[in-house]
Amino acid sequence: MTAVEATQTLAPSWRGGFGRLWSAAIVSRFGDALRIAALPLLAASLTDDPMLVALVTASGYLPWILFGLLGGAVADRVDQRRAMWAVDLVRGLLLAGFALAVGLGHASIGLLIALAFLLTSLQTLFDNAATALLPDLVPPEALGSANARLQTGQMLVSSFLATPLVPLLLAAGAAVPYAADAATYLLAAALVASLRPSPRERDARPSGRTLRADIAEGLRILWRDRTLRGLCISTTLCNIGVGGLIATLVLHVTGWLGAGEAAYALCLSAYGVGSVTGGFFANRIGRRIGRLRSVLVAGALQIGPLVAIGVIRSVWAVVVGLVVFGFMGMVWNVNQVTLMQQRSPTAALGRISAAFRTVSLGGTPFGALLAGAVAAGWGLNTPALLAAALFVLSVAALIPALKSPVTAP
């Protein structure tokens, strides 16, 4: 039995900071789920070009390549709570303006691309600050449970509350999902602003230390840790495949399968069902077999569903495949984030998180564009098969990291 298991303090307290952070994450994800489900449908209504539809998704990940490292360096220097609520406030105002444009009939592919780019540019600071803030709000032995509760709660509201509402909201007006997302950002900003300032004492930096030096330090720590390096390479390969699958899923369902918007919403809900279910077991699996082994097993078990989605011409094959894919995806995500938080120096966590996300998420826009080209040239089902092949490479890339010493679960 490890020291962590012996403490019996494995679940974070809902009182105080974690409860409010969890509530802010849930409220914000509810609105995001409305927008994420509605945006591809809006894009598909504006153009039938797979490359343009994929470009909307790709532009939502490109800022990680451009600004991700900078966002992490800033997150380690500022009050993370203040940075998070300020970012949510700005995102709320952007969504309100976009909802107004859609309501007035001024939507265009160019506007969708600009919105996705701006929102993710702000997200580079928000996500790194949130990752660095969580260890301040819960004890180290509760990190796995806290990550599981955050990610499971977010998937729960997006799958069972938000996504099924999208057809009804779209019936009320094309702008309604985006107006609702704007309101949730503003509410989340208020919740985060109510948190107490971080009590952490930051390590003193040498006088004149530059952001460039801070960024280089984060990259250096990530590269020297064989476990984190292998995990980052593996996640990058997965994200290339997932980016392509997400970008073209609406075309897979409505085009290759010939189904409608309701079927597309059903597929998104199926992914959510699998993810929520996986969230209840992810931390348990990680503690039982190890965080890194959990990620490797999850990746291996995602390959089969991707192949089934790509070769079986049935909506139900996609539904079942996405349930399994979502379950294993949550096991991967919870244990990946927890492992990164456990292995990273506290004062550099924002930068390490930024380096990890910049490299790994940098593959997503490439995957979206690659899948758009593959779908246009070889058929709308081929992005799923491409994703399966990339997951095979991802699992192979992760095997050498198993030889590295790992922290207690």
Confidence class for position 208, pLDDT limits 50, 70, 90: low
Tens of pLDDT, residues 132-154: 788 778 777 777 888 888 888 88
Could you tell me what percent of the chain has a pLDDT over 70?
91
What is the tally of helices (H) and strands (E) in the chain? 17, 0
Contact 95, 366 (CB under 8 A): no
Position 375 pLDDT exceeds 90: no
| Residue reference for tokens 């702008």 | 175
Which range, of 191-195, 204-208, 256-260, 300-304, averages the lowest pLDDT? Answer: 204-208
Distance (Å, rounded) from C-alpha 120 to C-alpha 381?
A: 28
Q: How far out from the chain centre does Cα 39 lie? A: 17
Q: What is the rounded average pLDDT for all residues in the chain?
A: 82
Task: Output the six-digit token pair for 113.
Answer: 């691309």
Given a cut of 90, whether residue 260 has pLDDT beyond it is no
Does pTM surpass 0.75?
Answer: no
SS3 annotation, 36-74 = HHHHHHHHHHHCCCHHHHHHHHHHCCHHHHHHHHHHHHH
For 60-108, how does the pLDDT look when each residue is reduced to its tens digit (9 = 90+)? Answer: 777 877 877 777 777 777 777 888 888 889 999 999 999 999 888 888 8
Q: Which residue has the higher pLDDT, 16 or 276?
A: 276
Lowest mean pLDDT among 177-186, 238-247, 324-333: 238-247
Distance CA 186, CA 30 (A): 13
**Mind listing the pLDDT tens digit for each residue in 302-323?**
999 999 999 999 999 999 999 9
Termini Cα distance of the chain: 10
Q: What is the mean pLDDT of residues 42-69?
A: 78
Write b or e for each residue in 221-241: b if 16 or more Cβ atoms lie within 10 A of its Cβ, otherwise e.
bbeebebbbbbbbbbbbbbbb
Give the model's pLDDT for residue 198: 56
Domains of the chain, first to last: 12-196+211-403 (1.20.1250.20)
Cα 112–chain centre separation:
19
Task: Give the Cβ contact number of residue 9 at 10 Å.
Answer: 14
220-243 average pLDDT score: 88
Residue 298 binned pLDDT confidence (cut-offs 50, 70, 90):
very high
14 falls in which pLDDT band (50, 70, 90)?
Answer: low
Least confident of 83-87, 218-222, 288-292: 218-222
Looking at per-residue pLDDT, the higher value among 391 and 47 belongs to 391
Single-letter amino acid code for the residue at 337: V
